[in-house]
Amino acid sequence: MTASPARPRAQSNVVGVALLLAITVVALGTLTAAIGGIVSSNAAGANADRVATDLDDALRPVEATGPDSDRVSFSQGELSVVEREVRVLDSSGVVETVQVDALVYEDGDHQVVFEAGAVVHRAGDGARMRSEPPITASRGAGGVLVVGAPVLGADRVSFTANQPTSLVLSTDVSHDRTDLGNGTYRVAVETTTPGPWDRYFQRQGANVTTQDFDGDGVESVVASYPGERTAYLVVHDMDLTIRQEAAGGGTDA
C-alpha cells in the first residue's frame, strides 16, 4: 500500500516560515525606528552645537562697541526672542530691574540660550554654560561687584526652519555704567535653565536660592554675595535685529 504525503508537517513548516518572516519584519521596523531616533537626536545635537558656537561668535556685548553683524545657521528648529529680566537687590529690596531678554534656540530635547551675556546649552535633563556672563565679584566678604547686563533690545520675533537656514544678527552696541554705592547685594537672573547659573554663582562664593519675582512662572536664580561691597551695574545695549538671509546671499527686509 502507498503511504500518503505528510501534509501536517508541510503545513507546520509553512506556518513557521510565516511567523519567522513576521518576527523579522517587526524586528527590522523596531531597529529602523531606533536608528531613526538616534540619527534625529544626533542631528539635533549637531544643530545645537553649531548654534551655540554661532551665538558665541556673533554676540559680544562686552568686547564690542558700535555696529557689527554675523550669522547663526541651523537646518531645523526654532529661534525666538523671549522676555527675561536681571535684577540687582540690596538689603532693602530691588534696586534695579533690567529687561535683558533671551535668544532661545530649540530642536527636540536640545536648547541653546543666550541670556545676560551667557550661552547655555541644554541637552535633555542636563545643561552646561558654554560662555560665562559678565557678572564678577571679589572673593569673600566685601570688595566690588560688577553686574554686566547685556540687553538684546530686539523685537519679539520667531524663526522656524526644517531646511538649512541662515539668520543675520546685526548689533549696535553701547555701554552705560551706574554706580550703585556700598551695600549688601544680591543678583537675580530669570532663567529656565537654573543649574548652570547656580553653579556659576557658587563658584563666585555666593549663596544661591530661587524666586519668582513677577509671578510669570519663570524663576530667577538669586546669588547673595557676602559682606558689604561697592556695586556697579553696566548695561550693554546691543540693539539687536534679526533678519533671514534671502536666496542668493542677501537678506530679507
Whole-angstrom CA distances from 215 to 97, 145, 211, 218, 220 are 15, 27, 9, 8, 11
The 10s digit of each residue's pLDDT in 160-170 is: 999 999 999 99
What does the DSSP 8-state code read for residue 245? B
What letter represents residue 109's amino acid?
Answer: D
What is d(CA 63, CA 117) in angstroms, rounded to the nearest whole number? 11
Mean pLDDT of 136-144: 89
pLDDT at residue number 142: 81
Whole-angstrom CA distances from 170 to 5, 89, 176, 239 are 84, 32, 20, 8
pLDDT at residue number 231: 97
What is d(CA 114, CA 117) in angstroms, rounded to the nearest whole number? 6
Q: What percentage of the chain reaches a pLDDT higher than 90?
A: 75
What is d(CA 92, CA 138) in angstroms, rounded to the nearest whole number? 22
CA atoms within 13 A on the CB side of 13: 4
pLDDT grade, residue 46 (50/70/90)? confident
With a cut of 90, say whether residue 42 has pLDDT above it. no
The 10 Å CB-count burial string (b at 16+, else e) for 70-95 is eebebebbebebbebbbbbbbeeeeb
Q: Which of 212, 160, 215 is nearest to 191 (CA)?
A: 212
With a cut of 70, say whether residue 41 has pLDDT above it. no
Mean per-residue pLDDT of the chain: 87
* Domains of the chain, residue spans: 41-244
User: Of 248 and 150, which is predicted with more confidence?
Assistant: 150
What is d(CA 180, CA 178) in angstroms, rounded to the nearest whole number? 6
pLDDT grade, residue 45 (50/70/90)? confident
pLDDT grade, residue 152 (50/70/90)? very high
pTM of the model as a whole: 0.80
With a cut of 60, say whether residue 27 has pLDDT above it. no
pLDDT at residue number 141: 81
pLDDT at residue number 248: 52
pLDDT grade, residue 38 (50/70/90)? very low
pLDDT grade, residue 146 (50/70/90)? very high
The pairing of strands 241-244 and 186-190 is unpaired
The 10s digit of each residue's pLDDT in 61-70 is: 999 999 999 9
Cell 561697592 sits on residue: 230
CB atoms within 10 A of CB 41: 16
pLDDT at residue number 129: 97
pLDDT at residue number 34: 44
Residue 185 CB partners (closer than 8 Å, separation 6+): 88, 89, 90, 95, 145, 225, 229, 231
pLDDT grade, residue 33 (50/70/90)? very low
Mean pLDDT of 217-243: 97
Phi, psi of 231 (to 5 degrees): -115, 145
What is d(CA 83, CA 112) in angstroms, rounded to the nearest whole number? 15
